[in-house]
Chains A and B, each alone.
Chain A
Amino acid sequence: MKPNDFTWSRTLERGIFNTDNPIFKYIIEHQQRYLLAVLIVVLFLPLLFNSLLGKPLLIGAESYYHLSQAQLAGWRNLEYYPLSLAQNFLPERALALLPIALAISCYFLWHWLARRWEIPASMNLFLVFFIIISPWFLYAFTTLSAYGFFTFLVLLGLVLLYQKRLLFRYLAVFPLGLAAFFDLMSGVVVLLILLLYWHSRRLKKKTKLPGVMILFVLSLLLFQWLVLKKNLVLGPFHLQSPISDLVSDLGGLQGVGLFMILLAVLGMGIIWKKRQFLGAYLFVPVLIAGYLYSTQVMFFLGMLICFFAALGFVALLEDQWILQKVKEFTCLLLILGILFSTLSYFNRFPTYSPTGAEVEVLHWMKDNTNPNTVIFSAPEQGPYIRYFAERPAFYALREGMNKRGEVTRAILKANYIQELFPLLEANHISLLYLTPTLKARLPADQGLLFLLKNERFKLVHSHEGSEVWVFS
């Protein structure tokens, strides 16, 4: 940057997001380091919050589900073997660095691909920026998320696919095959990516590799579906709500900001008109349908939304407006709106489970109850009960709506002891674990919370709103 180029007034005159603006130009040229800095900050901030609040560094039911599975790693769930090794060799708090390490690896793999695909610098800047400040990304890479690992494997596979040496290209089958193995949806996404790869290669060079890979992934998918009977989507690990899980501003666990969605709609309209990146539209019906089935698909949908949003934003920047100053304000507003969603998300972060109080109570249960005791609690607490208390939960969300799910619902809705007691006795439930979140969902002066006043219930432990009740 030449000193003569820079004065604040001239910079502002040119517009903030103008490539003639030396600051903006500098950021674009050195985006890799700045984006990496932003990535590290946004991923370490949650760890810092959790540490200061005395919470476990890892949050999210999915994290503890995977950790519990890793503790039981054997030939039936070989995919947990690496995590099991990590558990054995690393202290528990260090496990929180695994998703961050994955995120940074994904970051470098992506930048390699961006250079290989010759993605325009401004497009790449905003695409990566939007992704790394999106709540769905922050949640996936501050928890032990299967989809986080999926992203790493897919990016690794794509990097290998674009190597010059044929051997490396064939090696791509391993990470891509593994990526397709998490659940059926991940398999479908890998398949769509390979279809796009095949489409891009067929005109340039006749090669059997894409076809082979597609067939391989397709057979993996069929194997998972017909033989292993895997679910379409892993989870769920939280109580799902389609609207708030999509729009993080409405309080969802993941999601994207409202402005991101608006930009994405704008982007979709613009590139449809220009007939560019039409392959991306392939994902739209699949991911929307998947999302309506399970909001866990938000991970993939979020990526797609960020992609279209980045396209929309860049198109806005490059467009010549009659009212240039209005354009500057609009772009600034969009960035501020997106950042606001991220800040709101960070604001809610300290409330996400497991809290320090919940962990204390779960450890108390581990130390003071029989190892075979089944614990009744809110469905989303299952993984925490399994991991921290080392006890079986009566029902966990990911089991789907089965008989235990119905019993759980009936217990939480019971208004009379004549309804409640037979359910508890028939299902041999002697221990109830109530978190503040669960108590907030239940009516205060009727239902389960009121029935706990009965003499057959005894409060045996409580800590900062989390309670353990014995039913005798």
Chain B
Amino acid sequence: MIDKQARKWLIAIFVVTLATRLTLAFLIPNFTYDSYFHLRQVEHITNTGLPLYEDPLSYGGRELVFLPFFHYFIALFDLFLPLELVAKIIPNLLIAGLTIIVYLLGKKITADTPAALFSALVAGFLPILFFTNALTVESLFFPLVFLAIYLFMNLPEKKYVYGYITVFLLLSLTSSATFLLLVGFGIYLLLSLVEGKKINRAELELILFSTFFYLWIQLIFFKSVLLQEGIGFIWQNIPSAIIAEYFPAISITQALVLVSIIPFVAGIWVVYRSLFQLKNTRAFLLISLVISTTILTWLRLIQFEASLGFVSIILAILFASFYQEALIFLAKTKIAHLHRRFSLALIILLLPTLVYPALAAAWQQEVPSEEEVIAFKTLQVNTPPDARVLALLKEGHLVTYYGQRKNLMDGQFALIPDIEERFADSQLLYTTSFQTQAIGIMDKYNLRYLMITSQARKRFDITIFKYFDTDCFQRIYKNETRVYKTTCTLTTLE
């Protein structure tokens, strides 16, 4: 039970976090590029009751495989509210709700209310989570996974057992990244054996159940991916030219920026100290999760952003331990009388190092401009229904969502057989100077429409396609973004 005073502060933190997030979400137009895939899925569920597993537009027509719970969850709200409003409110509400879960976890490991409140404050403004315009699975995954961890830490009380099972079931249907939790459990058991710590029998039983349930769900949903890609399914069929963007080497600099310096340093310090007295620490499970996630990231078995988000929340929770230990340390020093000012000093320190980077991260989100959105919407009017449109990889979902047209490529790579070739061809279309080569590629994919946005211009340092001429290309839309129709083929001339 949360005491009255703590509840007030917690609600304040939640409200401030939510208010900040929603303000930014509505100030910044549109959504991040990846969000449009999820928007389309939610829309389809609202209209038909089923996810869009056979997509006629993505890659010109393909099979999709993904876990659908997140989309059903959002679709539930879409029944009552407009989708784009739901897409801005619900993810921000979920991430703001993380502050409450982090508070509970911080309280669990320290039994110290102020320390837990500080954890909640830190979690509320983590830069890595401050993507306010992102409708992504992580917005549900992170709250669920930490709720599962909290329930797990309260075993074997019956209500927590059933709570954990329910939450874990939902987690398994939300994201494959749930395996982070399972690997963490594995490291937890291993460290328990090494440290001679007695393993709680109920925990072991639930870990076993969780492992088997997770694997079963993954096998059911991703059977076709496993058959086609084998063990390579871990890397999601991402083209080799860009895989380093998804699975980069660990960068401490990037981690410091995205987690924020004080929580990062404090959390790592707590982990380091705790390693020497693991058996006695209540944060044992959390530390195991940090270790497992670090190992998986180092081995490039998990996307860096996902792992960093996960670790940053754990470091935020461990900040409670840091706070508590710092106060104990302070009490032993000659400046012990200043301990009351310590909290204030910490808040003052956190504001610029946490809040400012969080706001900056929000402002720097990659979202399409209003002009680009209009350009994509006009595809519906300016092109026939079966048209295939070239756009940047990240703009692929805009072609399908706003334009309702087929794209050449987008960020859903699984089960696409010729992904390397397709990616290379899509890049060539922006960089080649040879018209014959470009038209040959367009013929190969039956591409008749080309879009060039300001993003594309910046990316490839071009103002227009190098092979453009008026004989073969007709402009059908002109603004900052331009849309061209090709009238030539290598086989026949129109």
Q: 11 A-B contacts, Cβ less than 8 Å apart?
A: A249-B219, A249-B227, A250-B231, A251-B230, A262-B211, A322-B202, A326-B165, A326-B206, A330-B205, A336-B216, A337-B215
State the CA gap A117–B165 with chains docked (Å): 41
Across the interface, B219 reaches (CB within 8 A) one of A330, A337, A348, namely A337
Q: Cα distance A327–B206 when bound, in Å? A: 9
Instruction: Name the CB-closest residue of B to A320.
Output: B201
A249-B219, A337-B216 known, 5 other contacts, Cβ within 8 Å? A243-B230, A336-B216, A340-B219, A344-B223, A348-B227
Q: Taking beta carbons and an 8 Å cutoff, which residues of A are in contact with B?
A: 241, 243-244, 249-251, 258-259, 262, 321-323, 326-327, 329-330, 333-334, 336-337, 340-341, 344, 348
Dominant secondary structure at the A interface: helix
**Chain B residues within 8 Å of A, Cβ to Cβ:** 156, 161, 165, 201-202, 205-206, 208-209, 211-213, 215-216, 219-220, 223, 226-228, 230-231
User: Within the complex, what minimum Cβ distance (angstroms) separates B181 from chain A?
Assistant: 17
B161 surroundings in chain A (CB, below 8 A): 323, 326
Known: A322-B205, A323-B205, A326-B205. A259 touches B212 (CB 8 A): yes
The CA of A250 and the CA of B228, in the complex, are separated in Å by: 8
Please give, as numbers and ranges, the residues of chain B lying within 8 Å of A326 by CB-CB distance.
161, 165, 205-206, 209
A321-B205, A322-B156, A326-B205 as given contacts; A251 in contact with B226, CB under 8 Å: yes
Q: Is the CB of A333 within 8 A of B213?
A: yes
Identify B209's interface contact among A250, A329, A336, CB under 8 A: A329
Which single member of A323, A333, A344 contacts B216 (CB below 8 Å)?
A: A333
| A273–chain B nearest beta-carbon distance, Å | 13
Q: Which of chain A's residues have a CB closer than 8 A to the CB of B228?
A: 251
Which A residues lie within 8 Å of B165 (CB)?
Answer: 326
Chain B residues within an 8 Å CB radius of A348? 227
Kindly list chain B residues whose C-beta atoms are within 8 Å of the C-beta of A249. Answer: 219, 223, 226-227
Q: Please measure, in the bound complex, the distance between the C-alpha atom of A241 and the C-alpha atom of B229, giving whole angstroms.
A: 13
Q: Are A330 and B209 in contact (CB under 8 A)?
A: yes
The docked-state distance in angstroms from the alpha carbon of A241 to that of B227 is 13
**A244–B231 CA distance with the chains assembled, in angstroms:** 8
CB distance from A436 to the nearest CB of B (A): 14
* Least Cβ–Cβ distance between B230 and chain A, in angstroms: 5
Identify whether the interface residues of B are mostly helix, strand, loop, or mixed.
helix
Residues on B with beta carbons closer than 8 Å to the beta carbon of A322? 156, 201-202, 205
User: What residues of A have a CB within 8 angstroms of the CB of B223 in the complex?
Assistant: 249, 344
**Is the beta-carbon distance between B212 and A337 smaller than 8 angstroms?**
yes
Given A244-B230, A251-B230, A344-B223: A323 and B202 interface contact (C-beta under 8 Å): yes
Could you say which residues of chain A place their CB within 8 Å of the CB of B202?
Answer: 322-323
Chain A residues with CB below 8 A from B230, complex form: 241, 243-244, 250-251
The interface residues of chain A lying within 8 Å CB-to-CB of B208 are: 330
State whether B227 touches A250 (Cβ < 8 A). yes
CA distance A251 to B230 in the complex (A): 7
Residues of A within 8 A of B216 (CB): 259, 333, 336-337, 340
Enumerate chain A residues within 8 angstroms of B206, measured Cβ to Cβ.
323, 326
By beta carbon, the residue of chain B nearest A328 is B209
Asked if A323 and B156 sit within 8 Å, CB to CB, the answer is: yes
Contact among A241, A251, A333 for B212, CB-based, below 8 A: A333
Which residue in chain A gives the minimum CB-CB distance to B213?
Answer: A333
**Residue with the highest number of chain B CB atoms closer than 10 Å, among A244, A326, A337, A344:** A326
Q: List 8 A-B pairs, minimum CB-CB distance, nearest first.
A: A251-B227, A330-B209, A333-B212, A322-B202, A337-B216, A250-B230, A326-B209, A322-B201
CA distance in complex: A244, B226 (Å): 10
Tell me the bound Cα distance from A443 to B223 in angstroms: 25
How far apart sit A348 and B208, CA to CA, in the bound complex (Å)? Answer: 30
| CB–CB A327/B205 < 8 A | yes
Chain B: CB-nearest residue to A347: B223
Distance in angstroms between the alpha carbons of A333 and B215 in the assembled complex: 10
Contact B212 A334 (CB under 8 A): yes
Per the bound structure, the CA–CA distance linking A11 and B237 in Å amounts to 47
When distances are taken between beta carbons in the complex, the residues of chain A under 8 Å from B205 are: 321-323, 326-327, 330
Does the CB pair B231–A243 fall under 8 Å? yes
**Distance in angstroms between the alpha carbons of A337 and B165 in the assembled complex:** 18
Minimum CB–CB distance for B416 against chain A, Å: 15
Q: Within the complex, what minimum Cβ distance (angstroms) separates A262 from chain B?
A: 7
Residue of B with least CB distance to A336? B216
Residues of B within 8 A of A340 (CB): 216, 219-220
Indicate if the CB atoms of B226 and A259 lie closer than 8 Å.
no
Q: How far is the CB of B301 from chain A (nearest CB, A)?
A: 15
What residues on B are CB-neighbors of A259 within 8 Å?
A: 212, 215-216
Q: How far is the CB of A320 from chain B (nearest CB, A)?
A: 10
Residues of B close to A344: CB separation below 8 A: 223, 227
Complex interface: chain B residues within 8 A of A321 (CB): 201, 205
Q: Which residues of B contact A333 (CB under 8 A)?
A: 209, 212-213, 216
A330 to chain B, nearest CB (A): 5
Q: Please tell me if the beta carbons of A262 and B156 are within 8 angstroms of each other in the complex.
A: no
How far does the Cβ of A130 sit from chain B's closest Cβ, in whole Å?
A: 15
CA distance A251 to B231 in the complex (A): 11
A336 neighbours in B (Cβ, 8 Å)? 216
Residues of A within 8 A of B201 (CB): 321-322
Q: Which residues of B contact A323 (CB under 8 A)?
A: 156, 161, 202, 205-206
Question: Could you tell me the distance in whole angstroms from the C-beta of B7 to the nearest C-beta in chain A?
Answer: 32
* Bound Cα distance A241, B232 (Å): 13
B residues near A250, Cβ cutoff 8 Å: 226-227, 230-231
The CA of A128 and the CA of B161, in the complex, are separated in Å by 35
Query: Nearest chain B CB to A432's CB is how many angstroms away?
Result: 24
| A348, closest chain B residue (CB) | B227
User: CA of A330 to CA of B230 in the docked complex: distance in angstroms?
Assistant: 26
Name the distance in Å between A49's Cβ and chain B's nearest Cβ: 18
Q: Which of B209, B212, B226, B231 contacts A262 (CB 8 A)?
A: B212
Q: Which residues of B contact A327 (CB under 8 A)?
A: 205
A38: min CB distance to chain B, Å:
21
Q: How far is the CB of A160 from chain B (nearest CB, A)?
A: 41
Shortest beta-carbon distance from B295 to chain A in Å: 20
Residues of B within 8 A of A337 (CB): 212, 215-216, 219
Q: How far is the CA of A336 from the CA of B219 in the complex (A)?
A: 11
Closest to A323 in B: B205
Question: Which B residues are CB-close (under 8 A) to A330?
Answer: 205, 208-209, 212
The residue among A262, A322, A348 with the most chain B CB atoms within 10 A of its own CB is A322
A258 contacts across to B, CB distance below 8 A: 215, 219
Cα–Cα, bound, A329→B267 (Å): 37
User: How far, in angstroms, from A250 to B216 measured CA to CA in the complex?
Assistant: 14
CA distance A243 to B231 in the complex (A): 8
Per the bound structure, the CA–CA distance linking A323 and B207 in Å amounts to 12
A250 to chain B, nearest CB (A): 5
Specify the chain B residue showing the minimal Cβ separation from A257.
B219
Residues on A with C-beta less than 8 A from B156 are 322-323
Chain B residues positioned under 8 Å from A243 (CB to CB): 230-231
Whole-angstrom distance from the CB of A248 to the nearest CB of chain B? 10
* Chain A residue at minimal CB-CB distance from B231: A243
Q: Which residues of A contact B209 (CB under 8 A)?
A: 326, 329-330, 333
- Nearest CB in chain B: distance from A312 CB, A: 11
Provide the bound-state CA to CA distance between A258 and B219, in Å: 9
B211: nearest residue on chain A (CB-CB)? A262
Q: How far is the CA of A103 from the CA of B59 in the complex (A)?
A: 47
Q: In the assembly, what is the distance between CA of A258 and CA of B211, in Å?
A: 12
Q: Which residue of A lies closest to B156 (CB)?
A: A322
In the bound complex, residues from chain A placing their C-beta under 8 Å from that of B231 are: 243, 250
- Least distance between A256 CB and chain B CB atoms (Å): 13
Q: Which of A258, A259, A333, A344 has the most CB of B within 10 A?
A: A333
**In the assembled complex, how far is the CB of residue B209 from the closest CB belonging to chain A, in whole angstroms?**
5
Query: Would you give the shortest CB distance from A371 to chain B, in whole angstroms?
Result: 39
Compute how far the CA of A262 lies from the CA of B215 in the bound complex, rounded to whole angstroms. 10
Q: Which residue of A lies closest to B208 (CB)?
A: A330
Q: Chain B residue with minimal CB distance to A444?
A: B418
Residues on B with C-beta less than 8 A from A251 are: 226-228, 230
Q: How far is the CA of A51 from the CA of B404 in the complex (A)?
A: 44
Residues of chain A lying within 8 A (CB to CB) of residue B219: 249, 258, 337, 340-341
| A329 proximity list for chain B (CB < 8 A) | 209, 213
